[in-house]
Chain A
Amino acid sequence: MKFRVERDVLAEAVTWTARTLPTRPPAPVLAGVRIEAAADGALTLSTFDYEVSARSEVAAEVETPGSVLVSGRLLAEISRALPAKPVDVVLEGTRVTVTCGSSRFTLLTMPVEDYPSLPEMPALAGAVDAEEFAAAIGQVTIAAGRDETLPLLTGVKVEINGEKLTLLATDRYRLAMREMTWRPQSPTIERQALVRARTLSDVARSLTSAGTIEISLAESADIIGFEAGGRHTTSLLVDGEYPPVRRLFPEQTTTHTVTNSAALIEAAKRVALVAERNTPIRLTFTDGQVVLEAGQGDDAQASEALESVLVGEEITTAFNPQYLLDGLGALGAPFTRLSFTHPTKPAVMSGQQEGGGDSPDSADTFRYLLQPIRFAS
């Protein structure tokens, strides 16, 4: 095997392909990146740890086709450190030499025949705008569980209903739901999948440069695939029945408030400084204003008042400061609508483009359900 490739092309491809490699792999070959040079000038790099697979195709000047398995982490570090010149990679016996300018590295190879074959990409389900998908992932993954003993909740529920794609995540204390339109292969397609939140976050981070992401999801399959700009990745789905969380959103709310998002975030951050662990920010909405408070008794206390529109009864409630800020940050809208049924019942957060109590909200795209904190008694 012998090929020449641009340093930037190699470095980007290896870095992306090797990004999920485990530090302590169950078998040594799983720490490797497989390089396949084809006679037609296609260079394919792949990794697989039986859960996540990654495959990246780039162009190279291939002199002798062949394949080799080398340490992914080491190759990634080397390729990033090389000078900006063409890189020559040659297999000589059981060693690979990497030459770039006057730099020369010799790497040990691992038996490529011991490397597991990557799962096949499932059937293509449709395509989605990369930027919008990444934003949607950012909005819902904040609410996904991080407790690995409850694996179900570390996933994001992906629901596909024709042109509608819905993402849902909850850690039992808040629930984020984002709906968006996409371009399905078939207008009547119906799919459900539970995808690890960190897999989706990784997709949002590393597959957005191409403008469009293709999603592969077969009916009752156990993997999902994403593809963009020559990069393919698959991931095992989370096993199990996701609870029917959508019905937790109240059908009707009796009171809603509209507040400037940026002002609310700033105030909440300031007031949260005195909220000790497990203690809330209290929000009191009256006509024309909201007062944020934290701290009680002998502890440090803070309060701040802001302009806010109230439609309905005055209401006081209390939230975990971080959960509140997570939701406000995820809205990405100039105004924040909070809708209530009762001070101790979950509140719905949604975005609004305009201030004022009668303006439409964005509840049809993003909604965040937040359970208040209450006293134990």
Chain B
Amino acid sequence: MSRAPRNESVRRDWGGDDSDTSILHVDMDAFFAAVELIDRPELRGLPVIVGGAHRGVVLSATYEARAAGVRSAMPMTRARALCPQAIIIPPDHHKYRDISTSVMRILGDVTPVIEPVSIDEAFLDVSGARRRVGSPSHIGELIRRRISEELGVVASVGIASTKFVAKLASSHAKPDGLLLIPRAATVPFLHSLPVGALWGVGERTEATLARSGIRTVADLAHSPPGMLNRVLGTAGGSRLLDLAWGRDPRPVQPTRHEKSIGHEQTFGTDLTDLGDMSAALLDFSHRCAARLRAADLVTSCISIKVRLADFTTLSRSHTLDAATDVAHDIYQAARRLLAGMTLPPDGVRLLGVRCEALSDAATTFVQVALDDSGPERRAAERVMDEVHARFGRAAVTAGSLVRQPTSDTGDGDIS
């Protein structure tokens, strides 16, 4: 759900020449909300928000909710104030990942040169698919039709000669559209946009530039480089100038691997009990491990994130002796990291577990310890994966997670 500034007037025909535009950016429209509507078609046409019910934030919202001013990452309380009639649905990431996998499979039918950016967007380089499938515009429409017909969700597609412009094009194509920016139209298109449309220009940079009288991409493009470098630093200035003139040499990188897998949660009430924190880490470790196993990956570095009641955010990481995809190992490391931190008595607001240094399980060697119980635990967790796949997450869990939110033992010694 892009929050980049748009200019409605640019959603027009920039010309039909797609001979030199091989980059496609496919972006799902209101993805999480759209997936929820598959199962609940009676909600179509109504304002629907996906997000945590209490202290969470808006993860996705239908265009009906957006019309009331609801935006992604907005606190839920504010979203409800703006749109009291909205139907709020708690997120089901499992479901989103399934649909995402299907979307990526459809894209994979077009070309193997796919760079997934997140669960709901990807870049494609279709220069190799042109002869076999058709022109980029044809491919864009084909993808949109297949995703809509086969999956019941909607994708918008931007087509351009660079990744950056393709992404801008898709955001201007929304909702349910396709926008082609021919190479020749790249600069006029860019120069019609506010400067906030450029990658890396957030509110602060926008304000800085505004003080120098730069409000549009055109303003920036025609600013003296020396002045930009003074305002933004040498690297920042020349990078933005390149973007403003449509210069973006980055290729679509199909081999992009997931760099890390993590799970974090803001709690309804701050956790003060070490037992509750440990239980949360164990739960997150199981979620991470299941995702590692589903992707045939192993991790050799575990990090945890702790946000205190005063919003101070701390993180710690630990490199494992041997790569793993077993929740028990991840949990042990996470728990040791937590034990090594001094936490104030007013508790923690958020906890997160992240698995880094990922590698393919099939090609990663592990020097097993003589007293290793990994294989048995791994087998048990694999069975859990299958039960979850069939009966849902609530069907089976670690024994120590079957507990009330507030522990009466309080020693937090669970494993």
Cβ contact within 8 Å between B296 and A173: no
With known contacts A170-B370, A248-B371, A377–B365 Cβ distance under 8 A: no
The proximity string for B residues 358-388 relative to A, scoring 1 for CB distances below 8 Å and 0 otherwise, is 0101111111111110010000000000000
The proximity string for A residues 162-180 relative to B, scoring 1 for CB distances below 8 Å and 0 otherwise, is 0000000010111100000
With known contacts A278-B365, A279-B365, A297-B363, A376–B370 Cβ distance under 8 A: no
Cβ contact within 8 Å between B370 and A172: yes
Total A-B pairs in contact (CB under 8 Å)? Answer: 62
With known contacts A376-B325, A376-B364, A377-B361, A371–B296 Cβ distance under 8 A: no
Cβ contact within 8 Å between B369 and A374: no
A297-B362 Cα distance, complex, nearest whole Å: 12
A339-377 at interface with B (beta carbon < 8 Å): 344, 346, 369, 371-377
Cβ contact within 8 Å between A248 and B370: yes
The reply on A280 being an interface residue by CB < 8 A is: yes
The reply on A320 being an interface residue by CB < 8 A is: yes
Point out the residue from B296, B324, B367 that lies within 8 Å of A278, measured CB to CB: B367
| A152 CB → nearest B CB, Å | 13
Cβ contact within 8 Å between B367 and A376: no
Cβ contact within 8 Å between B371 and A374: no
Cβ contact within 8 Å between B371 and A376: no
Contacts of A297 in B (CB 8 A): 363
Q: Secondary structure of the B side of the interface?
A: mixed
The reply on B298 being an interface residue by CB < 8 A is: yes
Contacts of B361 in A (CB 8 A): 375-377
A174-B371 Cα distance, complex, nearest whole Å: 10
Cβ contact within 8 Å between B370 and A174: yes
The reply on A93 being an interface residue by CB < 8 A is: no
Q: Which interface residue of B364, B368, B370, B372 has the most chain A CB atoms within 10 A?
A: B370
A248-B370 Cα distance, complex, nearest whole Å: 7
Cβ contact within 8 Å between B368 and A372: yes
A40-B199 Cα distance, complex, nearest whole Å: 89
Cβ contact within 8 Å between B367 and A375: no
A292-339 at interface with B (beta carbon < 8 Å): 296-297, 318, 320, 323
Contacts of A174 in B (CB 8 A): 370
The reply on A26 being an interface residue by CB < 8 A is: no
A side interface size, CB within 8 A: 26
B side interface size, CB within 8 A: 19
The reply on A240 being an interface residue by CB < 8 A is: no
Contacts of A175 in B (CB 8 A): 370
Contacts of B369 in A (CB 8 A): 172-173, 371
**Apart from A172-B370, A296-B363, A375-B364, what 13 extra A-B contacts exist at CB < 8 Å?**
A172-B371, A173-B367, A278-B365, A318-B365, A323-B367, A344-B368, A369-B370, A374-B366, A374-B368, A375-B361, A375-B366, A376-B324, A377-B362
The reply on B323 being an interface residue by CB < 8 A is: yes
| B95 CB → nearest A CB, Å | 26
Contacts of A376 in B (CB 8 A): 298, 323-325, 359, 361-362, 364-366
Cβ contact within 8 Å between B296 and A377: yes
| A143 CB → nearest B CB, Å | 10
Cβ contact within 8 Å between A374 and B370: no
B277-317 at interface with A (beta carbon < 8 Å): 296, 298
| B17 CB → nearest A CB, Å | 41
* Closest chain B residue to A320, Cβ basis: B367
Query: Would you list the 7 A-B pairs with minimal beta carbon distance, nearest first?
Result: A377-B361, A376-B298, A172-B369, A376-B364, A376-B361, A373-B365, A376-B366
Contacts of B370 in A (CB 8 A): 170, 172-175, 245, 248, 346, 369, 371
Contacts of B372 in A (CB 8 A): 371
Q: Which interface residue of B359, B363, B365, B369 has the most chain A CB atoms within 10 A?
A: B365
| B239 CB → nearest A CB, Å | 34
The reply on A28 being an interface residue by CB < 8 A is: no
Contacts of B298 in A (CB 8 A): 376-377
A369-B371 Cα distance, complex, nearest whole Å: 12
Contacts of B359 in A (CB 8 A): 376
| B163 CB → nearest A CB, Å | 28
Cβ contact within 8 Å between A373 and B368: yes
A75-B375 Cα distance, complex, nearest whole Å: 57
Q: Which interface residue of A278, A374, A377 has the most chain B CB atoms within 10 A?
A: A377
A323-B375 Cα distance, complex, nearest whole Å: 22
Q: Which interface residue of B296, B324, B362, B368 has the most chain A CB atoms within 10 A?
A: B368
| A368 CB → nearest B CB, Å | 12
The proximity string for A residues 201-219 relative to B, scoring 1 for CB distances below 8 Å and 0 otherwise, is 0000000000000000000
A245-B371 Cα distance, complex, nearest whole Å: 9
A43-B281 Cα distance, complex, nearest whole Å: 63
* Closest chain B residue to A172, Cβ basis: B369
A172-B322 Cα distance, complex, nearest whole Å: 12
A268-B323 Cα distance, complex, nearest whole Å: 25
Cβ contact within 8 Å between A371 and B368: yes
| B144 CB → nearest A CB, Å | 37
A126-B324 Cα distance, complex, nearest whole Å: 47
Contacts of A243 in B (CB 8 A): 371
The proximity string for A residues 274-296 relative to B, scoring 1 for CB distances below 8 Å and 0 otherwise, is 00001110000000000000001
